[in-house]
C-alpha cells in the first residue's frame, strides 16, 4: 500500500518527459539572484510508522503484532526562507505545521483478535535543507534537496495502547521543479522523511488500565516515516 502511494505521488510531481527545446522569453529572470527571498507552501502528506515487534507473550498466552492498517492523508502548511549560497546552491528554512494521524492495528497471532488506535499528530517542524538546482532552461529549473527536520508533537495522548515521545527528528530528501510564472514561482515538490530515532515510550506510568500494557510490551521500538507533496509559492 505504501509503495502504491509513492508511485502515485511520483506521477503527480514529475514534470513532462518531453519539453520543447527552443528558447523562450524568461519570466522573472532575476528572481534567483536575490540574496534572500520568501514564500509559503501548502501540501498533503502520508504518515507511516515502522514497528519492531519482539514476540512478547502475555500470561494468558497472547502474542500481539502491530502494523499500520491504512494510510490517511494529512495537511501540511508552512513558510519558506531561501538564502542564496551560489549559482546552484541555497539554504532553506521551512517552519511547518503537519496535521495528520497514524492508524495503528494490533493483531493477536492465535485468535486473530484486533485492537485499533488512531495516533493523531500535530507536528511543529523546523526543517533546514540544502537545495541544489540545475541550470535554468526557459521557465523551469529542476532541483534536489537534503536536510534534517526537528519536530515536536503537540497532541500526544496518554492512557492509550501506545504512547509516543513528543520530540522527533526526520532526515529528509526530496526533489522538485521551479516553474517561473509571470508574477511568481510555482514549485511542486515531493519529499521523503525518515526518523532514525525510537519514539516508542516504554515507561507507561500513565496507564490506569494494566491490561493495555501488553501492547507496549509487544514492541521493541517504533520509528516515523512521511511522504509529503507540496506546492510552493515564491
Confidence of residue 90 (pLDDT cuts 50, 70, 90): very high
pLDDT in tens, 47-68: 999 999 998 999 889 999 999 9
Selected residue with higher pLDDT from 8 and 57: 57
- Whole-number Å distance between alpha carbons of 80 and 186: 13
C-alpha cell at 186: 510555482
Confidence of residue 208 (pLDDT cuts 50, 70, 90): confident
Q: Is 154 helix (H, G, I), strand (E, B) or coil?
A: coil
User: The pTM is what?
Assistant: 0.85
| First-last CA distance in the chain | 33
Confidence of residue 152 (pLDDT cuts 50, 70, 90): very high
Separation in Å, CA 201 to CA 28, 144, 160: 50, 34, 12
pLDDT in tens, 101-139: 999 999 999 889 999 999 999 999 999 999 999 999 899
Amino acid at each position: 500500500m505504501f509503495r502504491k502511494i509513492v508511485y502515485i505521488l511520483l506521477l503527480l510531481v514529475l514534470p513532462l518527459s518531453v519539453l520543447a527545446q527552443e528558447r523562450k522569453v524568461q519570466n522573472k529572470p532575476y528572481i534567483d539572484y536575490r540574496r534572500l527571498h520568501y514564500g509559503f507552501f501548502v501540501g498533503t502528506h502520508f504518515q507511516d510508522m515502522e514497528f519492531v515487534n519482539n514476540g512478547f507473550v502475555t500470561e494468558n498466552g497472547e502474542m500481539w503484532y502491530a502494523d499500520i492498517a491504512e494510510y490517511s492523508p494529512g495537511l501540511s502548511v508552512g513558510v519558506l526562507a531561501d538564502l542564496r549560497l551560489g549559482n546552484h546552491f541555497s539554504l532553506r528554512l521551512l517552519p511547518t505545521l503537519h496535521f495528520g494521524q497514524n492508524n495503528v492495528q494490533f493483531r493477536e497471532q492465535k485468535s486473530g483478535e484486533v485492537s485499533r488506535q488512531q495516533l493523531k499528530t500535530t507536528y511543529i517542524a523546523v526543517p533546514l535543507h540544502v537545495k541544489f538546482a540545475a541550470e535554468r532552461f526557459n521557465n523551469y529549473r529542476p532541483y534536489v534537496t537534503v536536510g534534517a527536520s526537528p519536530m515536536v508533537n503537540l497532541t500526544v495522548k496518554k492512557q492509550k495502547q501506545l504512547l509516543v515521545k513528543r520530540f522527533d527528528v526526520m532526515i529528509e530528501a526530496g526533489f522538485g521543479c521551479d516553474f517561473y510564472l509571470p508574477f511568481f514561482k510555482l514549485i511542486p515538490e515531493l519529499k521523503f522523511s525518515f526518523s532514525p530515532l525510537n519514539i516508542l515510550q516504554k515507561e507507561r506510568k500513565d496507564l490506569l488500565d494494566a491490561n493495555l500494557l501488553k501492547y507496549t510490551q509487544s514492541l521493541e521500538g517504533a520509528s516515523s516515516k512521511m511522504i509529503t507533496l507540496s506546492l510552493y509559492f515564491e
